[in-house]
Structure 1
Amino acid sequence: MKASAVQIRAAVDAPKPETRLYLFHGPDEAGASDLAARLARALGPEAERIDIDMKALREQPGRLADEAASMSLFGGVRYVRVQGIEEGAAEAVTLLLNAERAGNPVVAIGPGLKASGKLVKMAIAAPAAMAHACYVPEGVDAARLASTVAREHGLRLTGDVPQRLASASGGDRAILAREIEKLALYLDAAHDRPRDADGVALDAIGADLNDVELHHAIDAVIDGRVADIGSELAHLSEGGGSAIPLLRQLARRLMTLAELRSDMDSGISSDEVIEKHRIFFREKAAYSRALRRWNSPQIARALDRVRQTERALMHSASAGEVLADAECTAIARAAARARG
């Protein structure tokens, strides 16, 4: 079934045995990951997580259904997670939904899936599945998200603080959560000791999300300015920027660019495409340059590499910030060679 935001939050907070698949698609990968984490919390701290990647699903389509039906060695709760699910998993999902039994829920995150694609339609049509589109919150929704996350940390945001936090984080839940955690620590807030957080408190923690540095670094990558990328990344690091926000904002830029380029491929001029998508006037020149430089396959490859790098950063044994810097440099070099 197709689930609204309210329905999916209720579903993951109190999972039902008959729901075999939770499919989260759309560009807000951070939001999808948050929903997956809520499901994990609802299943309990002892729940065992089984990770399956797309390579395994292509080679062994039946594995998803097998893992969903398998019992833990000690009889505990299990669930299956698929990061970066793609249309190529259709056979695996079909086997899962048609299996005689499947006691372990599957949560699948597919930021690259389209609502019109086969996989999403399959999940919407299936009584044993829930599909939810995750979009980056904007405007009132973003401010409401800031207030919701703050309440989880014992904070009551007052005045224009919700809007300021929402605007500064650009709808990125990871950045938003980080700033709210800093604010809660500063005010010594918690569930059992709630605190009011006003503009004075926000100013006091120096909530500077490095918007300018982040924007300049991403511009250098997309423009293929290899000579500048090193200094831009250094400025970002000096200002307290980190790899995850950089990669997520870069991914969003590439996704927007992919949408624009897709319209161009159908015969619309770059100027018409930019007007159609209501690109902010200060960004029109940058998008115009990028559309002349990048073609659709190149954008898709770059986006895939950015997502793979972010996932690699999540592993405790990763090289950390170096991975992001190296990938940004590699994409900048590819952009320097690219001609859309």
Structure 2
Amino acid sequence: MAQKKAGEVDAFLSRPDFSYPVILLYGPDPGLVSERAATIAGHSGIDPSDPFASVSLSADELEKDIGRLYDEALTVSLFGGTRLIRVRGAGTGKVLSEAVATLSEKKLEGAILIVEAGDLKRNAALRLSVERAKFAIALPCYQDEGRALDRMIDEEFSRAGLQIDREGREELKSRLGANRMASRGEVEKLCVYAYGTERVTADDVAAIVGDVSADAVDEAIDATISGAVKKLPALIERLTDAGTPIFQLQQNLLRTIQQLTAMREIVERQGEPVSRVVERRRPHFKRKAALETALASWPLDALARTARRIETDILRSRKENQMALTITRQMMLSIAVEAAKNRRG
């Protein structure tokens, strides 16, 4: 079996063992997976800008034309040397899993295949095919926590010649972690902002670094319940690009609909004004208008029906994990469309 535990991956990254020419990286954070794949690719010494030596392929495309992967992996370079093949977006696709298993049976000559996948379960075909192969290795990648996040911060601050005080570090860590690449981008932005100062403080962090997920989640939920249909697709894309877990969107939306249901009961059965009911909840000022719009336009029976629909879609997305994002996006958009109709009616 060729696999590393999560705590052993950093050591492998510092000195990749290319006696395993097929390398699978998987985990829930696509930014971390991609960053680690890039690190391994960098150690290969192959120029990523050379189209004759390096190629990037999409897992979705390969499911339709797997012959392309065999061609790239088994073709000898016209100019000699090793070729680098990166496959992005792999998951539970049967065709790709079988191809990777076949390519791992014998040692690839003249090629390195790096496969980037999502959070694969223990019994996922792609993961099993690599773990059981003699000439392949599987590397689990998990989200920034503790020392890993501190190490990334230290790397960027050292590169910029800056220091950060203890309060500033804790404030910065509280705003990072949803996605390794997004987190690193926020730290780089902070370093540019603080250039020329002796020490970065918590105030500096608060001034320049946004929470990479919480505020955007609230904004997407508010757009859904208030019927801001045109605004919603970009918000969902922003969250998924930052690596925000799908279940976080689902659970926050369900919780908000449940809260609206309780509030609407007061409006309909006790006759209290919408503004007073919302005010009693003491929402953040940024969310107040959306909550008032939603509470004024959603009937009680529609809220109950919507809550049941969300619960059904959550269960469906867990059974069909590869479709979770599509299911959630369609769910949020259809709820937003209904909210817009309610508002106009």
Whole-Å separation in 1 of the counterparts to 2:226 and 2:317: 17
Q: Does 1:40 align with 2:41?
A: yes
Q: Does 1:252 align with 2:245?
A: yes
C-alpha deviations, 1:277-297, integer Å up to 9, x for none? xxxxx9xxxxx7775252444
- Following superposition, the deviation at residue 109 of structure 1 comes to 1.3
Structure 1 range deviating more: 89-98 or 36-45: 36-45
Whole-Å separation in 2 of the counterparts to 1:70 and 1:233: 41
Residue 162 of structure 1, aligned match among 155, 165, 169: 169
C-alpha deviations, 1:167-196, integer Å up to 9, x for none? 11243223322221122223438xxxx964
C-alpha deviations, 1:121-177, integer Å up to 9, x for none? 222232322212222224554444433444454444331333322211243223322
Aligned counterpart, 2:201: 198
Correspondence list, 1:1-340, <5 A: 1-5=2-6, 7-44=8-45, 46-47=47-48, 48-61=53-66, 63-87=68-92, 88=94, 89-99=96-106, 101-139=108-146, 141-188=148-195, 196-203=199-206, 205-209=207-211, 213-220=215-222, 224-225=224-225, 227-230=227-230, 245-248=238-241, 251-254=244-247, 291-297=310-316, 300=321, 303-305=324-326, 331-335=331-335
Whole-Å separation in 2 of the counterparts to 1:253 and 1:55: 20
What amino acid does structure 1 have at the position aligned with 2:33?
A: A
Unaligned ranges ≥5, structure 1 = 237-242, 259-281, 283-287, 307-326
Cα gap change, 1:292/1:187 in structure 2, threshold over 3 Å: closer, same or farther?
A: closer
Cα gap change, 1:7/1:250 in structure 2, threshold over 3 Å: closer, same or farther?
A: closer
C-alpha deviations, 1:81-113, integer Å up to 9, x for none? 111213312210111111353332111111142
Aligned counterpart, 1:317: none
CA contact (8 A) 2:213 2:242 kept: no
Whole-Å separation in 2 of the counterparts to 1:18 and 1:165: 39
Unaligned ranges ≥5, structure 2 = 252-282, 284-306, 339-345
What amino acid does structure 2 have at the position aligned with 1:127?
A: K
CA contact (8 A) 2:35 2:181 kept: no
Whole-Å separation in 1 of the counterparts to 2:63 and 2:210: 44
Higher relative contact order (CA 8 A, sep 6+): 2
Cα gap change, 1:51/1:110 in structure 2, threshold over 3 Å: closer, same or farther?
A: same
TM-score scaled to structure 2, two decimals? 0.64
Whole-Å separation in 2 of the counterparts to 1:121 and 1:256: 30
Aligned counterpart, 2:262: none
CA contact (8 A) 2:56 2:87 kept: yes
Matched position secondary structure for 2:153? helix
Whole-Å separation in 1 of the counterparts to 2:30 and 2:335: 24
CA contact (8 A) 1:216 1:232 kept: no
CA contact (8 A) 1:28 1:136 kept: yes
Larger radius of gyration: 2
CA contact (8 A) 1:51 1:80 kept: yes
Report the number of matched residues: 276
Cα gap change, 1:225/1:187 in structure 2, threshold over 3 Å: closer, same or farther?
A: closer
Whole-Å separation in 2 of the counterparts to 1:255 and 1:97: 36
Whole-Å separation in 2 of the counterparts to 1:94 and 1:232: 40
TM-score scaled to structure 1, two decimals? 0.65
- Following superposition, the deviation at residue 67 of structure 1 comes to 2.1
CA contact (8 A) 1:32 1:109 kept: yes
Cα gap change, 1:197/1:130 in structure 2, threshold over 3 Å: closer, same or farther?
A: farther
